[in-house]
Amino acid sequence: MFVYILTFLLSLVLYTLYKLIINDNKNIRKSSRKAILPPGSMGWPYIGETIQLYSQDPNFFFSTRQRRYGEIFKTRILGYPCIMLASPEAARFVLVSQAQLFKPTYPKSKENLIGPSALFFHQGDYHENIRKLVKRSLSPDTIRNLVPEIESSALSLINSWSDGAPINTYQQMKKYSFEVGILSIFGQLEVHLKEELYKNYSILNQGYNSFPTNLPGTSYRSALKARKRMVQILGEILKERENMQIENNLLSGFLNLKDKDNRSLILDEEQIIDNIIGVLFAAQDTTASVITWILKYLHDYPKLLEAVMAEQKTIQKSKDKEDCLLTWKHTRNMPITYKVMLETLRMATIISFTFREAVTDVEYKGFLIPKGWKVMPLFRNIHHNPEFFTDPQKFDPSRFEVAPKPNTFMPFGSGVHSCPGNALAKQEILVMVHHLVTKFRWEVLGSQSGIQYGPFPVPIQGLPARFWKESSI
């Protein structure tokens, strides 16, 4: 009898505990059901607010909404319901602390042009293994050895300009950033292969930024064809390199990929090629538009130009005594130029926002982010928020004498998908600026103000300009 009562009581206790736990879980689910959608306007059905987003200065689009609704608001972009996040904490939540609840998301048409196996479309083990390798191949230790080659790419480009002839600064810088991308992937590569890749990639790139209809005569169709030709060229390079001894570049890394237990992971040709095109894509327009913006700002602020020039001339003199090449150490010792670069990254915020998709219902500060909705951390709003950057519309490199507050400065993103190329990008920017300010004077042509979005913001028409060698003035 006693045993029965004990068993009964015990099961009662267990049942109550069980109920409590289950209910607790239910409460969590329930409370997320109770959580409400953030405020905001969903625009017209389907087209939503896309037209506004792409035709307006994104500064304006986001900041008017942020003022109206606060740090988190909903909208509709390209037919998808979206939650936009304009605070450092919310961006950190999505990109870093709860990154596993949000997956990368790109339109299928764009994924197909870059290649569906490229790392930025993935999460989990595949992403982690490839990312580790890419990070290692683009780390300061590896880049250090690339400095002379980066410098000779910069010099051969700017020495090809004839004095005073108008050039499109952005287009020129795209040639440079493509070269450097190629360098980091292949090390040395035959000139004719580089040219073929460059020409075909340019067609692919144009299609990426155009409307994705696969009809004859459209840029998108041409881009798909150019991609096929790139796959052919890259396939041949791969065959050639397969049996070469291990070098220190991204391609050799792809060919010898290991997992965390040092077991070999065989990537197939398609995975390698998609990732090569992916890195070329991530490396080119981004870096080129930052350099273009630096030149624009230096042109607009002559005092700053003088300070940068003085800093770079000192370095030039010191290196003349040693040998004529820039070294890693030189580029680590450009405090004024470095701050101009950081302030440019903030002001121009060339990656205004990014996209993720909620893989489950998520609650953030009482608001519901429904499964399947897109979320967009808004880097631009954070970089232009007077709470974090006083007088945000003013170009003022000296603000970087003090480190920005945590999570308020994310030109290279944050968390598991943050930019593995940031050290390389900074290196190539500093090398280019060194040579331009020590050897050239320039004049901006045509309209002095205005921004073009294609899709990265660049000074209007790519900053048409004339450059003169200083020695010839």
Ligand X SMILES: *[C@@H]1O[C@H](CO)[C@@H](O)[C@H](O)[C@H]1NC(C)=O
Q: Whose CA is closest to 145, among 238, 248, 216?
A: 248
Q: Enumerate the β-bridge partners of residue 76.
A: 81
Choose, by CB under 6 A, the member of 424, 430, 433, 436 that binds ligand HEM.
Answer: 424
What values do phi and psi take at 41, rounded to 5?
Answer: -110, 135
Based on CB atoms, which residue is closest to ligand X, 128 or 196? Answer: 196
Residue 326 interacts with ligand HEM (CB under 6 A): yes or no:
no
Could you give the 3-state DSSP secondary structure of residue 246?
coil
Which residues within the stretch 227-266 sit at the binding site for ligand X (CB under 6 A)? 229, 232-233
Could you give the 3-state DSSP secondary structure of residue 104?
strand
Cα distance between residue 70 and residue 64, in whole Å: 10
* Residue 271 burial class via C-beta count within 10 angstroms: exposed 0-12, middle 13-18, buried 19 and up: buried
371 sits in which H/E element: none
What are 70-73's contacts with CB under 8 Å, separation 24+?
A: 70/39, 72/38, 72/364, 72/365, 72/367, 73/38, 73/39, 73/40
Query: CB of residue 380 vs ligand X: minimum separation in angstroms?
Result: 35
Based on CB atoms, which residue is closest to ligand X, 83 or 226? Answer: 226
Query: CB of residue 122 vs ligand HEM: minimum separation in angstroms?
Result: 8
Query: CB of residue 17 vs ligand HEM: minimum separation in angstroms?
Result: 43
Contact region with ligand X (CB under 6 A), list: 225-233, 392-400, 407-415, 428-436: 225-233
Choose, by CB under 6 A, the member of 98, 413, 452, 455 that binds ligand HEM.
Answer: 413
Based on CB atoms, which residue is closest to ligand X, 145 or 232? Answer: 232
Residue 181 interacts with ligand HEM (CB under 6 A): yes or no:
yes
Residue 368 interacts with ligand HEM (CB under 6 A): yes or no:
no
- Whether 208 contacts 110, CB under 8 Å: yes
229 binds, among ligand HEM, ligand X, none (CB under 5 to 8 A by kind): ligand X
Q: By 3-state DSSP, what share of the chain in percent is helix, strand and coil, each rounded to 5?
A: 60, 10, 30
Based on CB atoms, which residue is closest to ligand HEM, 103 or 466? Answer: 103
Contact region with ligand HEM (CB under 6 A), list: 59-67, 206-214, 259-267, 405-413: 405-413
Cα distance between residue 308 and residue 437, in whole Å: 8
Query: Alpha helices, DSSP H only, in 35-143?
Result: 50-55, 58-69, 88-92, 108-114, 124-137, 140-143
Query: CB of residue 121 vs ligand HEM: minimum separation in angstroms?
Result: 8
Residue 351 interacts with ligand HEM (CB under 6 A): yes or no:
yes
- Whether 375 contacts 75, CB under 8 Å: no
Neighbouring C-beta atoms of residue 34, cutoff 10 Å: 11
Based on CB atoms, which residue is closest to ligand X, 233 or 257? Answer: 233
199 binds, among ligand X, ligand HEM, none (CB under 5 to 8 A by kind): ligand X
Choose, by CB under 6 A, the member of 32, 41, 418, 452 that binds ligand HEM.
Answer: 418
Based on CB atoms, which residue is closest to ligand X, 236 or 259? Answer: 236
Neighbouring C-beta atoms of residue 309, cutoff 10 Å: 20
Residue 200 interacts with ligand X (CB under 6 A): yes or no:
yes
243 sits in which H/E element: none
Based on CB atoms, which residue is closest to ligand X, 203 or 463? Answer: 203
Q: Is 82 annotated as a binding residue?
A: no
- Enumerate binding residues for ligand HEM (CB under 6 A): 119-120, 131, 134, 138, 181, 184, 279, 282-283, 286-287, 290, 350-351, 354, 411-413, 417-421, 424-425
Q: Which residues are annotated as a binding site for heme?
A: 419
- Enumerate binding residues for ligand X (CB under 6 A): 196, 199-200, 229, 232-233
